[in-house]
């Protein structure tokens, strides 16, 4: 089954909102074995929406539409659907009662605008919205299915998971897809491609390889298409095992793994705790770790030592080291790591000190210079890096490298 996604909203075209909805939908549909052939973002104008629907129906078996169902005046999708499917709005009683009940429960004022949300196109199948007021609407015209959903991410996700995907899965028959992503860290795309060229050339017709570079990472996505998911899985996992023999030191994880999730997993396995002392990364490492549920078993916390006085007062960095070597130095970053390990009583600690820019660089220490130290019991080591790019990139690459040093330390000390 081939699906096209149409995302409605001027805010997408002018770049005020990034289309994360379509990405989430693409992921869920792919996981359900349904192929997404195109994602189109169009304006709030009626003609543009109808034009996109018409084009989509020429190639897709199902067209999923999001956006333009809110209570405010700029949302016009329902009117467009009535025109496109030649029908009219009528009050849908179960939806009316659902909206009324939601407002009563939350103690909100029930306005005329909210009341209008139960006016829905006659003849379509209503897909209930368990978390909001605007339901999904399903139309079938000829061989094509159209499903319209609100653009609010939480509501779209509820309708997709509970209604749209189960419906599409029932309609879908046969074709299977399996994908597996290998996450590498440490070398660039071209260099990686050279190293695995022989392996890549050995892949059969039904197996596709894609390189997905991200700052500090290259993800290798292997996709196999055929009829039997289990056979495809065996095939892909076989190729993955071969790949692992060629570049064992570069592979840090698979699929949804992130550097921080791999670190958390290793800490849990080894029953160790971590703390952080962050200067240039400014809390970014702590935030990556604490975004994960269950991290409290292995993460104690840390200090964001942005100003030098904070490095001295909260991390016990010596005035001598700061004066003699400056904040961005091997000596200071080692004292930071030791300091946070001592005050939190953690088993390991990682510390960063660098110049994220855009200002603050010198000839000896240009913007992008970052020292990272890792302490593990009595052992401590520090390394200097030069990261390119703007402030955001320097911060992100520093955090990634710091976590990778923790990962390596955990693997070596295992």
Q: What does the DSSP 8-state code read for residue 224?
A: E
> Is residue 42 a contact point for a second copy (CB under 8 A)?
yes
Residue 5: CB minimum distance to a second copy, A: 8
Where in 131-190 is the site for a second copy (CB under 8 A)? 152, 154, 179, 181, 188-190
- Which one of 32, 33, 71, 226 is in contact with a second copy (CB under 8 A)? 71
- Which one of 333, 348, 373, 395 is in contact with a second copy (CB under 8 A)? 395
- Spatial neighbors of 117 by CB under 8 A, at least 6 apart, are 69, 71, 95, 99, 133, 134
> Is residue 19 a contact point for a second copy (CB under 8 A)?
yes
Where in 84-123 is the site for a second copy (CB under 8 A)? 108-109, 111, 113-114
Region from 11-19, 88-96, 118-126, 140-148 binding a second copy, contact rule CB under 8 A: 11-19
Within 10 Å of residue 324's Cβ, how many Cβ atoms? 11
Distance from CA of residue 388 to its chain's centroid?
A: 23
Determine the Cα–Cα distance for residues 217 and 326; give it in Å rounded to an integer.
Answer: 31
The CA dihedral of 311, 313, 317, 318, to the nearest 10 degrees, is 130
Where in 242-301 is the site for a second copy (CB under 8 A)? 275-276, 278, 281-287, 289-291, 293-296, 299-301
Q: For a second copy, how many residues bind (rule: CB under 8 A)? A: 102
Determine the Cα–Cα distance for residues 95 and 376; give it in Å rounded to an integer.
Answer: 59
> Is residue 2 a contact point for a second copy (CB under 8 A)?
no
Interface pattern 188-217 for a second copy (x via CB under 8 A): xxxx-xx-----x-------xxxxxx----
Distance from CA of residue 138 to its chain's centroid?
A: 29
212 or 246: CB nearest a second copy: 212
> Is residue 404 a contact point for a second copy (CB under 8 A)?
no
44 or 409: CB nearest a second copy: 44
Determine the Cα–Cα distance for residues 113 and 27; give it in Å rounded to an integer.
Answer: 33
Nearest Cα neighbor of 50 from 65, 30, 72, 39 is 65
Interface pattern 317-356 for a second copy (x via CB under 8 A): --------------------------xxx-----------
């Amino acid at each position: 089954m081939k699906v096209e996604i149409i995302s409605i909203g001027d805010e997408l075209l002018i770049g005020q909102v990034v289309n994360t909805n379509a990405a989430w939908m693409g992921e869920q549909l792919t996981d359900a074995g349904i192929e997404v052939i195109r994602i189109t973002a169009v304006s709030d104008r009626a003609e543009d929406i109808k034009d996109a629907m018409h084009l989509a129906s020429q190639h897709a078996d199902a067209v999923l539409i999001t956006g333009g169902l809110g209570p405010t005046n700029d949302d016009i999708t329902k009117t467009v659907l009535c025109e496109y499917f030649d029908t009219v709005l009528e009050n849908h009683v179960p939806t009316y009662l659902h909206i009324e009940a939601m407002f009563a429960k939350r103690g909100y004022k029930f306005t005329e605008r909210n009341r209008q949300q139960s006016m829905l196109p006659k003849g379509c199948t209503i897909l209930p919205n368990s978390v909001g007021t605007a339901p999904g609407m399903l139309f079938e015209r000829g061989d094509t299915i159209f499903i319209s959903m609100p653009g609010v991410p939480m509501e779209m996700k509820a309708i997709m998971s509970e209604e749209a995907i189960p419906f599409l899965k029932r309609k879908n028959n046969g074709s299977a897809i399996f994908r597996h992503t290998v996450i590498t860290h440490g070398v660039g795309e071209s260099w990686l491609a050279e190293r695995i060229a022989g392996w890549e050339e050995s892949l059969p017709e039904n197996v596709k390889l894609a390189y997905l570079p991200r700052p500090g990472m290259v993800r290798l996505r292997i996709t196999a298409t055929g009829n039997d998911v289990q056979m495809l899985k065996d095939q892909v996992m076989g190729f993955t095992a071969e790949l692992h023999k060629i570049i064992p030191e570069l592979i840090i994880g698979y699929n949804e793994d992130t550097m921080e999730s791999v670190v958390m997993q290793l800490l849990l396995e080894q029953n160790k705790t971590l703390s952080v002392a962050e200067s240039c990364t400014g809390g970014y490492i702590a935030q990556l770790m604490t975004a994960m549920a269950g991290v409290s078993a292995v993460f104690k916390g840390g200090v964001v030592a942005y100003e030098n006085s904070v490095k001295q007062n909260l991390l016990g960095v010596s005035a001598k080291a700061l004066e003699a070597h400056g904040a961005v130095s091997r000596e200071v970053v080692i004292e930071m790591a030791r300091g946070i390990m001592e005050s939190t009583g953690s088993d390991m600690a990682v510390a960063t000190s660098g110049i994220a820019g855009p200002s603050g660089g010198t000839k000896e220490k240009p913007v992008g210079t970052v020292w990272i130290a890792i302490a593990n019991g009595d052992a401590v080591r520090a390394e200097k890096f030069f990261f390119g790019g703007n402030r955001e990139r320097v911060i992100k690459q520093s955090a990634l490298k710091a976590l990778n040093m923790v990962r390596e330390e955990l693997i070596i000390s295992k």
